[in-house]
Each structure stands twice: as structure tokens, then as C-alpha cells.
Amino acid sequence: MAAPPSPQQVTPPSASTSQPPPQQAAPPSTTAGRPVIVLDAAHGGTDTGARGETGIVEKDMVLQIARTVRAELERQGYRVVMSRNDDSNPSYDERAAMANAYRDAIFISLHIGSTGNPGTVRAFYDQLATPVAPTPVAAAANVKSPAPTASGLPQWEQAQQPYVEASHRVADLIQAQLAQSFSGSPATATPAAVRGLRSVAAPGVAIEISSVSVPSADSLTAAATPLATAIARGIAASRAAGSTGAN
């Protein structure tokens, strides 16, 4: 099996499909052998994400939770980088680039859904979206088909591919912790075609809290600390098992 690419070896998207991600992250490094956690508060700016009937807006609430999670993880000795710390909306590629700039990172994307049993939390790992093969119908429908790279390096759009198994393992370990803290949550992680994970060249997990439909935002903000604890324990367990590398 070919060696997995280092983060720097991922071919960025071509200008015709999407913009190359900016260099926003700090130089690669880790703290005391621990991975850098890139904490992604989903959505932002004009992309509000889910909206509840009581006025809860995903982009705002998830940022608030991410800040608490960050503080808790840093208290536990992790270095945390936020994909956004205001009402901005970095592109999927810009968010992924923050994780891809580190040699040892774990990407955690936080979400609050529109549905689901209130009070439950699900961890997702990516089911890679496969590029569409060129066909007459696809061509007629302007379906994109990424061109192969001359270098043979994995394409940006498929950067998660070598890390899917590692992501699955980390997601399962985090989900096991979530199931203990959030009653009714599943015992194992769920596969889903999550766009925000596709270009991440590192283990990546999306976590979705249910939901913006809760009567009060207090229950969501209260989830932040146990959420951080579950993430920290799940990551620690994955490090102990040596399961955060590429497939």
C-alpha cells in the first residue's frame, strides 16, 4: 500500500473548481506530542445553518459552544485552533486548509441540527463523495469531474480518503463517550457524506447536537463542557490505540 500523503502533499483544487485555500494556520507543530485540534464552528456569515422556531441560529450557537469547548480542551492540555472566531464564513477549503497545515491534527466540526431527538449528539465520519465519471448526461448537466493531477498526488477534493478509517475509529471513540454523557445518543459513529470533511487531510469528525428545535438555548450551551470532555477522552483513547494516522 502506498504511503499516505503528508498534509503538504495534497494537491489543491484547480482555479476552475474552487479557490486555493489561504494560509491561515500557524506553522505545523504539536503540543507535548498531542495532536492539534482544529475546531470548526460550522456555517457563519450569511450561511446561518439550521434555524429553530424559538430563534436559535446554528451559526451563532455553535460558535458559542466551540469557544467553551476550546477553553475546556486547552485546559486539558490540547492546542486548539478555531476555524472561525467571529461571524465569518470560511469556505470548506479554507477550513480544511487549517487542519491540512499541520502534520498531526484532528479536525472536529461542530454542528447543531434541525432535527433529531433533543439532547442527543451524533459523531459522523465521512463517506467520501466520489467524483462523477464523465458521461453525456453528466456533461449535459455540467457535472464536474476533477482532472487527474500530473503528479499523481491525491486531489484536494479527495484529501480525506486516506484518513477515512482513522476518522471512523476516532469518531467511534468520541461517540462512545458521547453516549455516556448524552442519553439516547447512539453507541457508534454514523457514516455520512459530510462536505466539510471531504478535503481534510487528517482524521476528521463532524459532531451534530440535536437540535435547534429545543425550547431554550440553555440546554445547548450546557452541552459544551460534556461535549469537550467527550472529545478529549475520545481523542486520548484514539492516541492510546495509535489510531489517528492515515489508513
Partner 1 sequence: MPRNLKLALGLLAVAVLIGLISLREMHRRIARLGEMQASEERARHEVLAPPISTPTDVTVKARIFWAAGPDQLAPAEINLPLSADPVQRSRQLVRALLALPPTPAQRTMPADAVLLGFYILPDGTAVADFSDALAAETPSGIVSEQLTVNSLARTLESNVPALRRLKILIHGQEVETLAGNVDLSGFFDLHPPVQSPGTNATPSAPSTPGAGAAASPSGTPPVAALAPAKPPH
Nearer to partner 1, 14 or 31 (CB): 14
Q: Which three cell numbers stand for residue 225?
A: 463542557
Nearer to partner 1, 104 or 109 (CB): 109
The secondary element (H helix, E strand) that includes residue 236 is helix 224-240
Mark 158-177 with x for binding to partner 1 (rule: CB under 8 A) and - for no binding. x--x----------------
d(CA 191, CA 167): 10
- Under a CB-based contact definition with an 8 Å cutoff, are residues 162 and 245 in contact? no
1 binds partner 1 (CB under 8 A): no
Nearest-angstrom CA–CA distance, 187 and 181: 11
Residue labelled with grid coordinates 470532555? 229
Q: Nine-digit cell at 116?
A: 433529531
- Residue 122's identity, in one-letter code, is R
Nearest to 41 by CA among 91, 82, 11, 8: 82
Q: Is 131 in the site for partner 1 (CB under 8 A)?
A: yes
- What does the per-residue mask of binding to partner 1 show for 55-84, with x meaning CB under 8 A? ---x--------------------------
- Residue 132 binds partner 1 (CB under 8 A): yes
Strand order across the 79-82 sheet: 79-82, 36-41, 105-112, 204-209, 121-126, 190-192
Does position 208 interact with partner 1 (CB under 8 A)? The reply is: yes
Q: Binding of partner 1 at residue 117 (CB under 8 A)?
A: yes
Question: With binding defined as CB under 8 A, does residue 129 bind partner 1?
Answer: yes
Piece of 1-9, 32-40, 61-69, 125-133 that binds partner 1 (CB under 8 A) = 125-133
Taking the complex as a whole, the smallest distance from the CB of residue 149 to partner 1 amounts, in Å, to 13
Point out which residues pair with 37 in neighbouring strands. 80, 106
Q: Which member of 198, 201, 224, 231 binds partner 1 (CB under 8 A)?
A: 198
Distance CA 25, CA 29 (A): 11
Q: Does 193 bind partner 1 (CB under 8 A)?
A: yes
Residues at the contact surface with partner 1, assessed by CB under 8 A: 42-43, 47, 49-51, 58, 92, 111-117, 122, 124, 127-133, 135, 137-138, 141-144, 157-158, 161, 186, 190-196, 198, 206, 208, 210-211
